[in-house]
Amino acid sequence: MQTNENQTGQYAFTIIVPVYNEEDNLARLEEKLGKYLPQSLYKACVLFVNDGSTDDSGDRIHKMCGRHSDFFYIDMVKNGGLSVALKAGFDCCFSEYVGYMDADMQTDADDFNLLLPDLNRYEFVTGIRVNRKDSFFKNLQSKIANGYRRMMTGDGVSDTGCPLKVMRTEYAKRLPMFRGMHRFLPALILLQNGKVQQIPVRHYPRLAGKSKYHLWNRLTGPFIDCFAYRWMKKRYINYQLAASNLN
């Protein structure tokens, strides 16, 4: 974990973009993020997390960051998955707020401005994908997985898989770390007594690259992880200090 403040501390909002083998989407992503940052409601930067890509994504990210003073990157030694990439991004973030979006261009960075205003009243704000452009089978899997997760966690979130979220960084840094964490972000924020809000956002079809999700990691994996969350919920430590003389 990085403990010394870095350049992200000069911004109010950091957008984390986990990337794994998305070379064909990065040019469009660079253009979209480059246009969004001047329009962001808060002074914003982008932190790419290259999650052990084996294609040309890493080199393209480095070049993108060389062209944009508000773009930064970290390279993972090996691929760890979305939860690992997010955890690394949270650990390296020192802005007041942090959010994330996928690199697949199925959501729009402009929609961060729909989520950010509610951070005045909520600790976590997540998008809800409306008019989803995925296949019928993929949408069905997602609907089943979301329904089961809501039943098991009681988080009340209808679309936890939406890859467009913002939160207060202090809460993100306290999230318990485990694989599959990204599916339980709202529930984990609730464990910290944080408040969660949901806002409709746009959704687009994937035009390039391949989805990293399939039947196993969309249904079977989350089914098992729900039991891990229920175990954690009963044993989670949450405290507040009343006073201290520490300097």
pLDDT tens column, 83-120: 999 999 999 999 999 999 999 889 999 999 999 999 99
Q: Is residue 64 within 8 Å of 71, Cβ to Cβ?
A: yes
Across 142-168, average pLDDT: 73
Whether residue 38 is predicted with pLDDT greater than 90 in this model: the reply is yes
Burial class (CB in 10 A: 0-12, 13-18, 19+), 53: buried
Which two tokens mark 230?
């229920």
Name the band, by pLDDT with cuts 50, 70 and 90, for residue 26.
Answer: very high
User: Distance (Å, rounded) from C-alpha 242 to C-alpha 247?
Assistant: 15
Name the band, by pLDDT with cuts 50, 70 and 90, for residue 133.
Answer: low
Whole-number pLDDT of residue 240: 75
**Domains in the chain, start-ordered, CATH in brackets?**
7-235 (3.90.550.10)
Q: What are the start-end ranges of the E strands in the chain? A: 13-19, 44-50, 71-75, 97-101, 124-129, 164-168, 196-201
Tell me the per-residue pLDDT of 173-215, one tens digit each, with 9 for 90 and over.
Answer: 998 877 777 788 888 898 889 999 999 999 877 677 566 555 5
